[in-house]
Homo-oligomer: A and B are copies of this chain.
Amino acid sequence: MSLFPGKYRYENEEHDNLGVDWVIQYQFEDVDQTQAIEEFRTLIHDLEEAGFRTQVRHGYGASLIICIRLPRDRLGHMVHKSRVKDWLFAISHTLPAEEEDAIVEAEHPAEELRSVYHALTWQKELGGAGITPGCGKWKNITAAFPLHNTSANSELLRKWSRSTGLTVNDLDTIRALFGENVAFYFAFIHCYSMFLIFPAAWGVFCWFYFGPYSVTFAIVNCIWCIFFVEYWKIRELDLSFRWGVKYIGELKVDRPQYVWEKEVRDPITGKIERVFPAWKQLLRQLLLLPFASVATAALGTLIVVTFAMEVFISEVYNGPFKGYFEFLPTVLFSLSLPTISSVLNGMATRLTDYENYRTQDQYDLAQTQKTFVMNIITSFFPTLLTAFVYVPFGAKIVPYLDIFNVTGFNSSEIQTEFKVNSARLEQEVMYLSVTAQILNFGEEFVLPYVKRWLRQKWRAYRQKHSDHGHVRSRSKATELLLVDSEEESTLMNRIRNEADAEKYNVQDDILEMCVQFGYLALFGVAWPLVALGFLVNNWLEIRGDFFKLSLECQRPSPIRTDSIGPSLQGLEFLTWLGTLSTAAIVHLYRSQVEDVKLSSLLLTILIAEQTYLATRFAVRTGLEKLCSDSVRRNEARRYNVRKGYLELYWRSMANSPTSSPSRVRQQRVRFNERVDVYSSATEESHDSDENGKTESDQIEKNSDILRGSHREARFWSGHQGTTADAGVKLIQALNTKKPDRGKDFKSKAGKKID
């Protein structure tokens, strides 16, 4: 879509998508031919019915690659329609200037692709092809995705490798390439990293001067957390206005899986709406509580058991093979965690399905919430255990761990001999902020890369093998189909690789950041350099994520959101929890752990919480007051829209006085008639407003008749002379002060008048 397409295209073939908008992968590994052909034909039929141009190629193994493209005029029209819809829902405030059936060009690729996405996935009655990959009759469609814009991606990567931070233009670019929800993630991580600079520096300072568990650091850190979260909220609002996606949730279409109870026609707009009663949904959502408790129980026990074993082995056990046993807990944990969490995930999904959300967004959010809960538990529970159970009460608990009585000597001896090392928390936090981050990085970026490389190797091998195997008689034409023409081979290979690449789930990355923030908020005080470690990590993370997104994952279909979703609540929760835990940790670890009075500890926590609430309130009000600019601008735009309308309306009225839009005129409340004193200004009363109108008209006719009797008329005609003169006379008559030197003149004036 460049100005001089021809010229440019030849420069870099490998970047050319040959105008392919979207790619569909049809897998028929385990479908028998009849059915496969049947499904494929319907697919193609539906696509072409929806106005797509299609091309088919063979994929890896028993799969087909269908390249589709929406003709530009149709695309342009869909873009226009979606803009009009945005305007109707007051998402955007600039009216599309074109006439009803206009064809416009998208502002950026994301908008274009979004329209293609709608054309592909929306139900037929909404004018789409109604193709929902992986669900229902389309369960054999294993992938449907837009092609990457490789040149733009590599360009961005190159730029970032040079620059330190992201500019707002970079964010706009990401938004233009991958849509808002991805852009919001990058905006978030960037904003967060920028904020990290302060605690990093401050942490280094405190590390040198106060060491760990310093009160100063604790307080500053907590305030910083509150400040960041509140600032991000505003930043988010800002961006959502900038990208024109605020309140976008309203206009999303129903999920195909959405079950509604009745269809009602909206009395005001006249649109048909599919209603599922809110209270039912609420009741179903209450199932979240049992779920949460089950999850907590399952994960909790797992963690506790592992923890206990670990402690037992490291501290108590002195029997044979100690060296090997050391690793046992970790191994067990990492073996059992996936299974448990997969089970829980299954439950979560079923729960979310049951909750029956109208739009895909709501569904995803609900799902994310649940994963979030589980993540919180798995990430923070172990360290919390260390901080508040193991270190303080270790000396008391540990002996009881010796259940099998494997240790030679009796527990009383242990108790005397056993000593909890209170540096352990520090070590653990260090581990979290350095080692864990590195491991995480490797897991996130290196591992998939390796896996992918291996997969390709394996495929190539199998390919060769299978060719050596059964040789089938194929027609000439088929042969032709099976080999790519050299000019499209590069593209086709890229497509095939993208087709079996992973899907990119932005919520996971957001979650990762939230957990990181959580570590800082909860345990940062134990080792002030935490923030520094995170800062370095995030510098890599931003680039790594973009690398992953653009080279290792399918290009996500550009979805519009106006927030980072439930993670925001998560952040607030973590800030709150952070304040409490920080207070507790400081209180516990500053003095000798053994001689801490419970009451004083509780008091600290209580005070900390009150301070937290107060600070949050103050910061919030303050920031809202200061950063209300984007809101103001939005209101100004709305004002303009209405102004424009009004002018247009008045103009059109000047031309044809009859054309007045349908509106409900409110009934007048009259007080002097007994009858309808209590007929109130409700919008429902259409009937009586007609005579209300006529009445007001007839009154407007004779502009200011003094209604009701001649008494009124007499009153207003008043005594002879003007009010001013009358008043002057009265003043002279009434004023009780001693006659002053101006008096006689005044009285003369008085005389003059009468």
Contact = CB atoms under 8 A, between A and B. Distances in A.
A731 B36 contact: yes
A285 to B, nearest CB: 8
B33 A735 contact: yes
Which 4 pairs between the two chains have the least Cβ-Cβ distance? A172-B680, A105-B696, A73-B703, A2-B672
A681 B176 contact: yes
A56 B716 contact: no
Interface string A596-610: 011100110110010
Contacts of A740: 32-34
Nearest to A655: B655
A681 B172 contact: yes
Contacts of A106: 668
Contacts of A681: 107-108, 172, 175-176, 243
Contact of A680 (B104, B173, B669): B173
A633 interface: yes
A56 B99 CA distance: 61
A269 interface: yes
Interface in A63-115: 63-64, 66-67, 69, 71-73, 76, 84, 87-90, 94-95, 97, 99-100, 103-109
Contact of A648 (B648, B673, B704): B648
A505 interface: no
Given A2-B670, A61-B736, A95-B649, 6 more contacts: A90-B638, A151-B671, A269-B640, A282-B626, A480-B719, A602-B603
Interface string A143-163: 000000101100100010000
Given A278-B625, A645-B645, A680 B639 contact: no
Contact of A695 (B3, B45, B485, B731): B3
A94 B1 contact: no
Given A33-B742, A40-B728, A40-B731, A109 B671 contact: yes
Interface in A273-323: 278-279, 281-282
Contact of A33 (B485, B706, B737): B737
A641 B734 CA distance: 58
A384 B473 CA distance: 96
A709 interface: yes
A544 interface: no
A474 B750 CA distance: 10
A29 B735 CA distance: 7
A90 to B, nearest CB: 5
Interface string A15-55: 01011000000001110111011001100110010000111
Contacts of A416: none
B673 A2 contact: yes
Contacts of A257: none
A606 B95 CA distance: 54
Contact of A1 (B152, B167, B707): B707
Nearest to A726: B56
A465 interface: no
Nearest to A33: B746
Give this chain's copy count.
2
Contact of A646 (B69, B87, B680, B699): B87
B18 A680 contact: no
A707 B19 CA distance: 8
A481 interface: yes
A280 to B, nearest CB: 11
A703 B715 CA distance: 77
Given A100-B650, A599-B599, A699-B72, A672 B474 contact: no
A262 interface: no
A253 interface: no
Contacts of A653: 99
Nearest to A101: B650
A403 interface: no
A105 B654 CA distance: 21
A477 interface: yes
A424 interface: no
Given A3-B673, A18-B712, A53-B716, A268 B636 contact: yes
Contact of A168 (B268, B648, B667, B680): B680
A376 to B, nearest CB: 15
Interface in A646-684: 646-654, 657, 659-674, 677-682
A435 interface: no
Interface string A687-725: 000000001100110011111110110111011111110
Nearest to A680: B172
Contacts of A668: 105-108
